[in-house]
Each structure stands twice: as C-alpha cells, then as structure tokens.
Structure 1
C-alpha cells in the first residue's frame, strides 16, 4: 500500500469514527432534553397545586387532560377556569396540577335571582348590580340591609357563592376602609385578572368620580371578597 493510500485510509477511519461519535452525541443531547422537559412538567405540576376556596370542587390533572375537556365535564367554560386558576396559557396544564372548579357546596339550596335593579342610580351598588346583569343576565336578589359592606352576608343569605379567589365577571366586595373604600364599603365588577393576582374592576362612585365609571386596580386580601351567582 502506498503512502498516499495509507494516509487516505487513516482519514477515512477517523472520519467514520467522528460521524459515529457525532450521532451518539446528538442522541444523548436529545434524550437529556426530553427527560429534562418531562421532569420539568412534573415539577411544574407539583408546584402548580392550588388551595381551593370552600365550596369549590378540586380536580387533579392527569395525562391527556385539556382545560376545555375539564370545563365541559364540570359544565363551565375554559375561559372561566383559566381566569379563576390564574392560568396564563390555557393550552398548557400539567400532570398533578390542581384545578379549582368554582361551585356551590354539595347539598346547598340553589341561589336566588333578583327581579331588577332597585339601588339608587350613581351608587356603587346600582352600578355593580347593573353591570353584573349585563354580563350574566342575573340581578342580585337582596334589596334591604344591602349597603356595600353587607353584600357578603346578603350573598350568603341568598345562597350566592363567596370566594377569596377572583374571576372575571365576579362582584368585588370591599369592607369599610379597605383599599380606599369608605365607611359603607364598596362593590365593583372584576373586568380583568392580572398575572400578579390583582384585578382591574369597573366602578361607579369611586373616590371623586361620583357619576363616572372608572377602572381601578385592587388586590385580593383581608376585607376583600368575590361574589358570583
């Protein structure tokens, strides 16, 4: 064998070895990425567990679940579940993640519907009742002992749902002197739930804006509740 042939054979052997090593490296990297992604999904699912409010149903996600499928099973919408559980991407839920299903406690009487809006125009109570009806087709049924601070008790009396977790379209209730509310409290309607858990609520008679509808940011916490039919 000539010297040139020996050199050519040497390079061919090392070229094949390099290709083989390259393929093995690609397989190893892809395997690591797959395992990392799988472990990440399980870890995210574990950390994504929520503490549901009293009266909620809780559902633990299993492989193959979708938010839409869970919503259909519980006769609600994926939009409501995404908002209620602060899920920014409804196409991404994780195995072992707890999904809170808004609902009434089993065995409780059905909630009562109101027949109209009897609150004085311009008050936060009038606006909250009117806006809630525009969104859901339902008026609140309480018309007496119904200053804003009392809406929590009145909602309980008429079997409406009360939660510490906001959802778009809920009635937000502030107790007196909480987050800028005055001595009679304040009610508003949740229009958006922000990624940080705060809400943007539409109001009437907030601060100096007696007749105007304004959007104000509030945060869940002590003295803050959310009411829904």
Structure 2
C-alpha cells in the first residue's frame, strides 16, 4: 500500500483546476494553493484574429509581415510528416536564439533525444502543429505546438537573430493562432510563464494548483 512506502512528503504541483486531486481529503494534506500562471487566449472570430487578438498586436503582425516581405519571398510551411527535418531546423534556430545566454533547452543532448523519439509518435497521432517560416527559401523561424481536444498549445520556438526586426516568432504565433481558429479550437494556451509577449496577444492568466501531503 501507499503507506508502506518510505516517504516524508508528496508534492502535487501544476495540477489543472479541474483535477480530481484537488478534491482529495486527508488530515495531513494542505488546502490547494495557486502554483503557476499559464496565460491563455480565448479564441473567437475568424482567421483574421480580429475576434480575439488586440488591434495593436494585429497591426504589429501586419508590419512584421511587410518587413519580412521586403527581405524576400516569404512562406509558412507545415512540417507535419517530416518531424526529424523539423527538429533539425528548430534545434538550429533555438540554439541560435539563446546562444548568448548559454544555450536553450534543446542544447541538452538528453532533451534532444527525447524529442527525436517522441515527436514522430505525437505527429503520427495528429497531436503536433509544427510550422517553419522561410524567406527566399531559407528557414528563419520555427514553431512547435500541440492541438488536443479543442485546445492549442504553444510549446517552443526559435528564430534566426539576424531577422529579429522582421519578428519571425510573432509571425509564426499569429499563424498558429489563425490555424487553431480554423480547426475550431476554443483556447490557445501559452503554457507556464508570465513572459510579457504572451499578454500582448490578449492572453489572461490561468493558474495551476499545488497540494502538499506531509507525513506526520
């Protein structure tokens, strides 16, 4: 039984607000507390984004597309069906983006191997949404997300810092939101973290919960 295991404390973190764990009762369990903010954008309207994304961000998105177009022919490409090629580009761009900060999460060999194994399986089940952004045939941005049960999730991205002024990351997020609307998603979840750019898209915090069971 659980009580025969040698343990002092169970920490249940990042629980969704509808988790059954929050309804558990035990004298040694504390009350649920807020754990982490996950900004979420409620989707509405059509692929123009006018129904859910603030006007200021839509203007910025139009300017970014115009700036990118001045650099050459632009293209947004689905990487579905070619997960390893997508990962090659994502890892390259993500590491370029974070090179000055000591490398991003994908610089870790174990993390890369995990995605090499898991992404093809997720792709085969239709759960991933992977996009590449190219200018004159050269890939300058990558977006890695998910879609499940009416929710889209923005997981990871990367872009070539040489094109920072053209905002390939924002262009890809705008495209991902538009595609999520097209697929009848209800929400676009930016996942954990209160980075300022998420709120620029109109996202609002949704908190995960935490419970602690301390054995007496």
Higher relative contact order (Cα pairs below 8 Å, separated by 6+ residues): 2
Is TM > 0.5 for Structure 1 vs Structure 2? no
Give the TM-score normalised by structure 2: 0.23
More helix by share: 2
More strand by share: 2
Give the TM-score normalised by structure 1: 0.22
Larger Rg: 1
